Amino acid sequence: MAKYMLIMRGTDESVAKMMDTPFEQMLELMGRFNEELIRAGVLVAAEGLDDPSQGVVVDFGGETPVVTDGPYGETKELFGGYYIIDVASKEEAVEWAKRIPAMAGSKCEIRRVPGIDEFPQDNEWVVMERAWRERTGQL
Amino acid sequence: MVEASDGPPSAESARRAVEAVWRIESARIVGALARHTGDFALAEDVAQEAVAEALVTWSRDGAPANPVGWLLTTARRRAIDSFRRRSALDERYAALAGQLGEGEASSGAASRSGADDLLWDPDRVDDDILALMFVACHPVLSPEARVALTLRVVGGLGSEEIARAFLVPVPTVQARITRAKKTIAAAGVPFELPPAEDRRERLGGVLSVLYVIFTEGSTATAGDRLLRPDVAYEAIRLARMLTALLPDQPEVHGLLALFELTAARFPARTGPDGEAVLLEDQDRRLWDRSAIRRGQAALGRASMLGRGLGPYGLQASIAACHASAPSVPATDWERVVLLYEALGRVAPSPVVELNRAVAVAMAQGPLEALSLVDELVASDRLSGSYLLPSVRGELLIRLGRPAEARAELELAARLCRNARERSVLLRKAAGLE
């Protein structure tokens, strides 16, 4: 088994469509899909992000970090939320991603999430992170 | 149509795509087909034929836009063909072929509107999957057949995967499944939920099949590996499905809790060379805290239903005692003894008695435990099991009787079938002088 993150990337087009969809309908659409993931026993975590215009970007391009308000770069393909699922293969992750009730124009990027076991276990920082994960139940 | 972005479709990418879809959807596909045809064996046959056809077609043309619809439509056509062939002998089949073929002309090819509208009934999906589980675990089948059929139709595993899970040859698995389908047809097992008066007992049958699958993954009965987490994970996945389908059944939650809490210890149960590490020697920091939390939550749901815990819930409670204890000495052994006593009353078994003796040894002392173990030896109810001499050996070590302990551990090693566990016993015996 391996964990995969399904990264939701919206565009102006998909965000506009989402704004046009009644909130109740959005909740039902997403809720049904989430329920499927739960029932299949594969859902680990999921979060959606607030409006990108409310975000802040810290740019490390210069000598000191530069802080700007608003979205990161172009408004197209902005990171809007994610799922983490525990599945048998990349293909299964793709198959689930295809079922996301996403708005036209948006994209979903699928990336494997390496586990802490894949890092050197004798490294002191890995040991400390492992301890934190144990305390907080995130192993 | 072609979805593979990295080059042209190939047999390998088609196989992976088919496998992924089948894993997610096999239960719904076979369930819907079985409900529609009223014939479980036929449903499984045509679903497998559709999978075989997908391997060929998808590797040539790429995976279709709607793979589930494709599989369902293809399987449905095969079912119609089969009914038409049989209709020469029996006009009942002609009627079935007609019913099943309805909508074919209007919807045409493998589109979402075609097969889905006809077979996909969202209100029936849960019952279909549940009925599928009950049929696959039907008491007319041998225990091995129940396991193979459940993994195949509900879990969506291929014959190779099932064979690997149970360390048997692929043809054996195929033969078991074929035979199982024939048995179900011969016994006239209907594709439906068991009647209310049988429900409780039949659910017990389903749970015990999941338990067998989990146990095979958590303590392999044979072979040179102690754990096969992927096999155990399949059982966890099936148990999660079942808790969603039957949320008001405490034992379903109890079983899931037991699986999660047991699997939480997997990372600590084997050493660097795959050798078994006993509970007392396990590095508890390696235990999977997320799994423990999920197990405790499932146990909480089982208790909240307010009908008392059954055998699985009680075993999960025992596992929860270990999971929340910082060390072996700091474990609430008094509670563990009480839980084993309760378990011994609802599900009496010599193995439970033996485990109770182990808990008594921790709560009260080895001498009290030894008398319980000796009662078991005298009753001759666990003869042939390596567990009895292995526990007896441990108690004798604690009582400072190494010569007797050594003889018991060597006996246990001779009786043990798992190579990893055997080597632990032998090492322990050799260390006694």
Show me where the domains of chain A are located.
2-136
Other beta carbons within 10 Å of B252: 28
Residue B338, domain member (yes or no): no
Contact status of A96 with chain B (Cβ, < 8 Å): yes
Q: What is the DSSP string of B270-307?
A: B-TTS-B--GGG--GGGS-HHHHHHHHHHHHHHHHTSS
pLDDT digits (tens, 9 = 90+) for A58-114: 999 889 999 988 877 776 788 889 999 999 889 999 999 999 998 888 999 999 999
Predicted confidence (pLDDT) per residue in B28-67, tens digit: 999 999 988 888 999 999 999 999 999 999 999 988 988 8
Candidates A92, A109, A127, A135: best to mutate against B (most CBs of B within 10 A) is: A92
Nearest Cα residue to B134 out of B80, B184, B84, B73: B184
Smallest Cβ distance to B237: which of A41, A95, A134? A41
Q: Which CATH class is domain A2-136?
A: alpha beta
CB contact under 8 A, B24 and A88: no
Give the amino acid at A107.
Answer: K
| Residue A134: per-residue pLDDT | 72
User: What band does B106 get if pLDDT is binned at 50, 70 and 90?
Assistant: very low
- At residue A109, the 3 state secondary structure works out as strand
Say if B92 falls within a structural domain.
yes
Phi/psi of residue B63, nearest 5 degrees: -70, 140
Residue B163 and residue B177 in contact, taking contact as beta carbons nearer than 8 Å? no
The answer, for A130 touching chain B at a CB cutoff of 8 Å, is: yes
Total domain count, chain B: 1
Query: pLDDT at position B108, please?
Result: 40
User: B15 and chain A: CB distance < 8 Å anywhere?
Assistant: no
At B336, list the tokens. Answer: 């563990």
Q: How far is A67 from chain B (nearest CA, A)?
A: 36
The pLDDT of residue A138 is 66
Distance CA B25, CA B29 (A): 6
A contacts of B16 (beta carbons < 8 Å)? 89, 91
**Higher pLDDT among residues A132 and B322, named by residue:** B322
Contacts of B20 in chain A (CB under 8 A): 88-89, 91-92, 94-95
Is a pLDDT exceeding 60 seen at residue B105?
A: no
**Residue type at A118?**
E
**Does the distance separating the beta carbons of A130 and B285 come in below 8 Å?**
yes
Question: Rounded mean pLDDT of A42-58?
Answer: 88
- Chain B residues closer than 8 Å to A117 by CB: 267
Residue B208 confidence (pLDDT) above 70: yes
More confident residue, B105 or A96: A96
The alpha-carbon gap from B290 to the nearest alpha carbon of chain A, in Å, equals 5
First vs last C-alpha separation in chain B = 72
Count other C-beta atoms under 10 Å from residue B399's C-beta: 16
B292:A137 CB<8 A: yes
Confidence of residue A18 (pLDDT cuts 50, 70, 90): confident
In chain B, % of residues over pLDDT 70: 88
pLDDT band at B381 (very low <50, low <70, confident <90, very high): confident
Categorize the per-residue pLDDT at B89 as very low, low, confident or very high, splitting at 50, 70 and 90: low
Give the tens place of pLDDT for each residue, B390-407. Answer: 999 999 999 999 999 999
What pLDDT does A33 receive? Answer: 93
pTM of the model: 0.81
> Average pLDDT for residues B276-291, to the nearest whole number?
86
Which of B95-104, B133-142, B151-160, B196-205 ranks highest by mean pLDDT? B133-142
Taking the CA of residue A21 and the nearest CA in chain B, the distance in Å comes to 23
**Nearest of B175, B194, B184 to residue B140 by alpha carbon:** B184
The pLDDT of residue B92: 67
Q: Residue B293 domain-assigned?
A: no
- Return the pLDDT at B296: 95
For residue B138, pLDDT over 90 is answered with yes
Neighbour-count burial of B44, counting CB atoms closer than 10 A to its CB (0-12 exposed, 13-18 middle, 19+ buried): buried
Is B362 part of any domain? no
Range of the domain at B101: 11-121
Collect all residues with Cβ–Cβ distance below 8 Å to B129 and sequence separation of at least 6. B27, B28, B31, B154, B241, B245
Q: What is the largest CA-CA distance in chain A?
A: 52
The answer as to whether B327 is a domain residue is no
